[in-house]
Amino acid sequence: MRSDLYSKAIEIIRAVYGEKAEFREGQYEAIESTLTHHRSLVVQKTGWGKSLVYFVCTKILRDSGHGATFVVSPLLALMENQLQAAAAFGLHSVVLNSSTKENRADDLEKIKSGRCDLVFITPETLFSDSVRSALPSIPIGLFVVDEAHCISDWGHDFRLEYTRLYRVIRKLPQTVSVLGTTATANDRVIEDLKHQLGENVYVSRGSLMRRSLSIQILLLPTPAERYAWMLHNIPNLPGSGIIYCLTQRDCDKLAAFLQENGINAKAYHSGMESAETEAAEQALRDDRLKVLVATVKLGMGYDKGNIAFIIHYQQPLNIVAYYQQIGRAGRNIERAYTFLMCGEEDCTIQDYFIDTAFPSEYEARSVYDVIRAHSENGISASQIEIYVNCRRNRVEKALMFLRNEEMIYKEGTKYFPTLHPFRYNREHYEQIKDIRKHEQQKMREFIHTKECLSRFIVNCLDDPTTDRCGICRNCLGYAEYPEHPDDAVLQLTQKYLERLIISIEPRKRFPNKEFTGSCIIDHPNQEGLCLSKYGDPGYGMMVKQGKYGTPNGFCEELIVKSVSILRDVVRKNDIDALTCVPSLRSSIVADLTMALADKLGLPFVQLLQKQGTRQQKDMENSNYQCRNAWDSFSVVSGTSDVPKRIILVDDIVDSGWTLTVCGYRLTQSGCEFVFPFALADSSENRSNQ
């Protein structure tokens, strides 16, 4: 005989989905466990309906007078989807995240007064001062951690802001139900999550095999080959889809290429304005886009039932992340296609993410020591950069770890030390790094396996499935789509990539007032041009070889290409002369500039000189980079007749502070127009969000 709880639950879903609706295998059991055992973990494949579990639980709890459900979620995209889904259950929802600050006070009043059933909240907002102070007066009926694998630092997508959630969970009364949901947790992660969610955790775990997904692997080492394959094949793929890239820069470049060549594409990553990403999400949801080119920012939670294809421009860091991402496709359609491309740069980018996942002991100790030294009045993150030679993202990572380890705390914008001494858990961090290296190796095995590709994936997630999917490249025995690009399209793509020019954006502010007494840069440089991305195939590789690989400097092809770009600059801007950033170690940049001046028919003038200081490449943040450049470069003593309009040449540009300071020195000496030009850009844009 069915229980009263089952009757209530089935009545709820039939009111939403129709009188013949039934629970999928395991759904009711997860609902029952959450409401009776109070601690549950749902590990089920994407599209199984994990959110239905907490919608039904919320409805039952609210009908019996319990408090609101809090759903902690990492992604804004997920929240927008869930708002619509919750409304279908008759649930009134509120979103608390970085984009809803203006309404936060009103929203918190609604929650306190019981006028809200569901609260979707990011971890960062949960720990904000306004929410943290309000929590004790808010009755909570159910606490949900969506994408729960983010809690575990053994997980593939561990997020520091999630690590403090277990403290919230431990403070909840035992009568408050706690539910964790994820599609990507192996045995190790599940054990860790059971420990963090509390005592006697019920685990709902089903088969992870996705039988609607056809997987094909494409061994295409160069960007040109991958661009060409996509240009030729995306128009022939059904419906709309997602292309995943490891870096923001690759998203921007690839989306621009596809758009320029007639494929309706947009980029999507955390470096964009929220309005842009929201518009891109909606365009894909409304089938107004053929493809969204995204980082893992779109890896979790985005719910569009008819995504027909997923392409990975590079290999993800591990198989678990790969499973998460291809899970966006084929939810409500019979067949979806996934293509994993393998590039020559994959391992370099993967190693970077693995090696920088944790702050180094130097970074953590340096940041901690600065905070200790300013313990009386506290210190902000931007002020810390003045004292620590670390990039901003590394300072922020160190701050997050120090807060997580309770060695520091934050009040407003300032950080203060706690009474806990500094401790660096190197052994634990190294263990995690070793596991991620092992997972990286499993990804390489996956690429070359002859097994069923879907079975290989779920077995790596400790799902013992022995069935074959029957539709992947290995099961079929043939490729459903070409494995190599069309030769004519490849030639077109190579020409496109060769003509790409990178702009050098002028810096308009100094990092602080120590240099001129003002942050504003009077008469900043013009927007300049850069020939290539350092080390990229084509010109980028020629720059690398010319700088370090040959005794004769930069090749004639680079000089000819540079001249072809600069001719228009000279003509349009009435350029008087060329000068260069000086070096104490080599004449390679001066030789390059003289060759360019000769071919352009302009004089070369050595206007700048350099003093012996530390190398600019050793400076990690704007404060140190600007200070080092300021101390290094000056106008040659005795120079009286400075040309009014010049091109300032360097071989490689990174932070832009060398060109900025050199340009400033020139304008202060009478130059009116400084146009920067460099052969290659070596700045890192490796954010994977």
Domains and CATH numbers, the chain: 4-205 (3.40.50.300), 209-499 (3.40.50.300), 501-681 (3.40.50.2020)
Convert the pLDDT of each residue in 558-604 to its tens digit.
999 999 999 999 999 999 999 999 998 889 999 999 999 999 999 99
Chain CA centroid to CA 244, Å: 11
Enumerate the H helices of 469-587 as residue ranges.
473-476, 487-498, 539-544, 556-573
Choose the most confident range, by mean pLDDT, from 135-139, 195-199, 230-234.
230-234
Give 258's contacts (C-beta < 8 A, 6+ positions apart).
230, 231, 234, 265, 291, 293
Residue 347, strand partner residues: none
Convert the pLDDT of each residue in 462-478 to its tens digit.
888 889 999 999 999 99
Identity (one letter) of the amino acid at 348?
T
Which pLDDT score, from 0 to 100, does residue 242 have? 95
Q: What is the distance between the alpha carbons of residues 79 and 122, in angstroms, rounded to a whole number?
A: 9
Token pair, residue 461, equals: 């997630």
Residue 105 has pLDDT above 90, yes or no: no
Instruction: Report the greatest alpha carbon distance in the chain.
Output: 99
User: What's the DSSP call for residue 162?
Assistant: G
How much is the mean pLDDT over the chain? 89
Helix (H) or strand (E) holding 215: strand 213-219
pTM above 0.85, yes or no: no
**Mean pLDDT along residues 410-436:** 91
Which pLDDT score, from 0 to 100, does residue 95 have? 86
Written as one string, the DSSP assignment of 446-462 is HHH--S-HHHHHHHHTT
Which pLDDT score, from 0 to 100, does residue 1 have? 37
Which pLDDT score, from 0 to 100, does residue 337 have? 97
Of 107, 113, 31, the residue nearest 67 (C-alpha)? 113
Residue 608 has pLDDT above 90, yes or no: yes
Convert the pLDDT of each residue in 301-324 to its tens digit.
566 789 999 999 999 888 888 988
Task: Give the pLDDT band (50/70/90) at residue 616.
Answer: confident
